[in-house]
């Protein structure tokens, strides 16, 4: 029975990773596609390859997910696996809802919300201090930093190229966007695929199929990297339209700055803070930041408000779904 539950958890985790890929594919490529720096299919292929590469670059974020959200050490194996299973269900359900509505919500926070909701419903201890330090604070500050930094860098770019020929400048920034989109996709793989690794590692630890001291097995890394890459290649056209055109009409320079700043924030959180931040929040706030350099009214704040509502609801909504699933399975 336990072995079957582990297999089911691994399958659901990879399913979540796949939905993460097509849900968040827009994070890496929407700006490049909207400015016509890349064609949609080429952009998706590039993003899929870079997602795979990014997923294999580290495990610090995965370790945070596996060890710092809920305490599984003193629970029964059945409870541990039930909590992880229901956390995944909560995350997948919210991912699909927001994908259908075309809202760029955070797959990261849907998974964390699922773990918190299922953990509480299963009677486990939730590490609130770690959640505040590793989730809440980065969730608040990363978008703010993304907005402010993107705004500042865009102002500097405008000043540096104020006398340059517009057509030539746009052409050069379109070329530069190939690199910035690749950097963003690498950061997405580095951040988001690791969350799935962490969940699978949790399930393996619960039944003793992986030594804690040896870290995440190689097959888990490759499986998670492959799932998110396949999901990315399948596309996320609904959300891509929201990020690429509905917030603001982007030009190549603004697209380049938004992607470059977002990639920097993702790398800093992964390698320095080991914090699981949202690629969605980061790129969306950066797009708003570069858009605000035209004028504040250039940003479609009504769309931004709808996105913000989805951000606020993500953790409690996925936690609620996961908690209900945990109660139902426990009673059954």
- Compute the distance between CA of residue 225 and CA of residue 53 in angstroms, rounded to an integer: 8
DSSP string spanning 269-294? Answer: IIIII-----HHHHHHHHHHHHHTTT
**pLDDT value of residue 306:** 65
Q: What phi and psi, each to the nearest 5 degrees, are found at residue 125?
A: -80, 130
Distances (CA, A) of 319 to 24, 28, 182, 245, 305: 20, 27, 32, 31, 22
- Compute the distance between CA of residue 245 and CA of residue 275 in angstroms, rounded to an integer: 29
Residue 262 in tokens: 């977002």
Residue 39 in tokens: 């064609």
**pLDDT value of residue 307:** 64
DSSP state of 202: H
**pLDDT value of residue 106:** 78
Closest CA to 138 of 320, 313, 307, 268: 268
**pLDDT value of residue 219:** 92
Radius of gyration of the chain (CA): 20
Closest CA to 322 of 199, 222, 226: 199
Chain centroid to CA 186 = 12
CB contact at 8 A, 201 and 62? yes
Residue 318 in tokens: 């996925």
**pLDDT value of residue 149:** 96
Residue 103 in tokens: 């809202």
Show me where the domains of the chain are located.
2-331
Per-residue pLDDT in tens (0 to 9) along the chain, 332 residues = 678 889 999 999 998 888 878 766 666 677 777 777 777 778 788 888 888 998 888 888 888 887 788 887 677 888 888 999 999 999 888 888 877 876 667 778 888 999 999 999 988 888 899 888 888 888 888 888 999 999 999 999 999 998 888 888 988 998 998 899 899 889 888 888 888 898 898 888 888 888 877 788 889 999 999 998 888 877 655 555 554 455 456 788 988 999 999 999 999 988 888 888 888 778 888 988 888 888 766 566 665 676 677 778 888 999 999 999 999 888 77
Question: For residue 125, what are the β-bridge partners?
Answer: 71
CA angle 176, 177, 183 (to 5 degrees): 105
Closest CA to 199 of 61, 43, 57: 61
**Residue 39, SS3?**
coil
**Residue 125, SS3?**
strand
**Residue 68, SS3?**
coil
- Signed CA dihedral, 30, 34, 35, 41: sign only: positive
């Amino acid at each position: 029975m336990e072995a079957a539950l582990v297999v089911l958890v691994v399958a659901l985790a990879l399913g979540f990773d796949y939905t993460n890929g097509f849900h968040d594919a827009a994070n890496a490529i929407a700006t490049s596609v909207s400015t016509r720096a890349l064609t949609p299919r080429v952009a998706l292929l590039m993003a899929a390859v870079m997602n795979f590469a990014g997923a294999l670059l580290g495990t610090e974020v995965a370790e945070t997910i596996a060890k710092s959200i809920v305490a599984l050490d003193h629970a029964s194996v059945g409870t541990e696996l039930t909590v992880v299973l229901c956390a995944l269900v909560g995350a997948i359900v919210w991912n699909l809802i927001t994908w259908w509505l075309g809202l760029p919500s955070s797959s990261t926070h849907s998974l964390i919300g699922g773990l918190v909701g299922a953990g509480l419903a299963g009677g486990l201890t939730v590490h609130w201090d770690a959640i505040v330090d590793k989730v809440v604070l980065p969730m608040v500050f990363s978008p703010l930093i993304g907005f402010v930094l993107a705004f500042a860098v865009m102002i500097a770019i405008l000043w540096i190229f104020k006398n340059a020929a517009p057509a030539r400048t746009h052409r050069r920034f379109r070329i530069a966007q190939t690199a910035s989109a690749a950097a963003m996709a690498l950061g997405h793989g580095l951040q988001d695929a690791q969350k799935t690794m962490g969940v699978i590692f949790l399930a393996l630890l619960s039944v003793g199929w992986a030594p804690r001291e040896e870290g995440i097995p190689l097959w888990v890394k490759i499986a998670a990297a492959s799932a998110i890459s396949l999901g990315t290649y399948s596309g996320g056209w609904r959300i891509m339209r929201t990020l690429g055109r509905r917030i603001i009409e982007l030009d190549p320079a603004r697209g380049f700055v938004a992607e470059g700043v977002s990639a920097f924030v993702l790398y800093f959180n992964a390698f320095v803070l080991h914090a699981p931040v949202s690629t969605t929040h980061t790129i969306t706030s950066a797009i708003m930041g570069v858009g605000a350099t035209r004028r504040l009214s250039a940003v479609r704040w009504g769309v931004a408000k709808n996105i913000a509502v989805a951000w606020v609801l993500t953790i409690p909504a996925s936690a609620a779904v996961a908690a209900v699933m945990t109660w139902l399975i426990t009673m059954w």
